[in-house]
Amino acid sequence: QIPQRRHSNILQGDGVIITAMNEMINIIDVKTLNTGEKFTIKNQSMGMSLAALHDSHILAAGYSKGYVIIYDLDSSEQSNAAIPEENVDFIHKFNSHSQQKESVGITCLCFKADGSLLLSGSKDTTICIYDLLEGRPLFKFVGHKESITKVVFRGNDEIVSSSLDGTLKVWSFKD
């Protein structure tokens, strides 16, 4: 059995630390370590589950309602005050996980090394792959019986996932 553990909501990028919790994404300048020095994204409608960073300016955020938003931090207005989510530039918004389940929250995210694809795992037991260049979902994998705990890319056409059901699965896809 894979033990259940709390997911990390802290990332470190080039010159920034990112925390994601309690409806907020805080991007902190490492030189000053002041919260909101870069900016804070506030989402009033739902809790934040976690975020993943690619190339220090592309941020993927997973939300408790099951959607994923890809933000471009370089193009967003930076402010010391909390910025409502609707005022932050985003590249894509995906809502591919099941809306039929009571708890759909995104539990894990992973960028492919080249930044072209993103994986998301969810409490709804599914895994989604998104094409970030075309801005569309590519594949959805179903097979776990409980919440997804981790997803990673393995090579060019495989992903590996783990779940609270105690299983580890390898999935094939062609991007």
**Which tops the pLDDT comparison, 171 or 106?**
171
Mean pLDDT of 21-34: 68
pLDDT tens-digit map of 140-160: 999 999 999 999 999 999 999
Residue 2: predicted pLDDT: 37
State residue 66's pLDDT score.
Answer: 82
Q: In this structure, are residues 95 and 82 in contact, taking their beta carbons and an 8 Å threshold? A: no
Per-residue pLDDT, 150: 93
pLDDT in tens, 115-133: 899 999 999 999 999 999 8
Predicted confidence band at 18 (pLDDT cuts at 50, 70, 90)? confident
Contacts (Cβ under 8 Å, ≥6 apart) of 166: 1, 2
Residue 114 vs residue 87, higher pLDDT: 114
pLDDT in tens, 29-78: 777 766 554 455 665 445 555 666 666 678 888 877 788 888 877 665 55
What percent of the chain has a predicted confidence (pLDDT) above 90? 30
pLDDT at 106: 87
Q: What is the pLDDT of residue 37?
A: 46
pLDDT beyond 60 at 4: no
Most confident of the ranges 47-61, 78-92, 95-109: 95-109
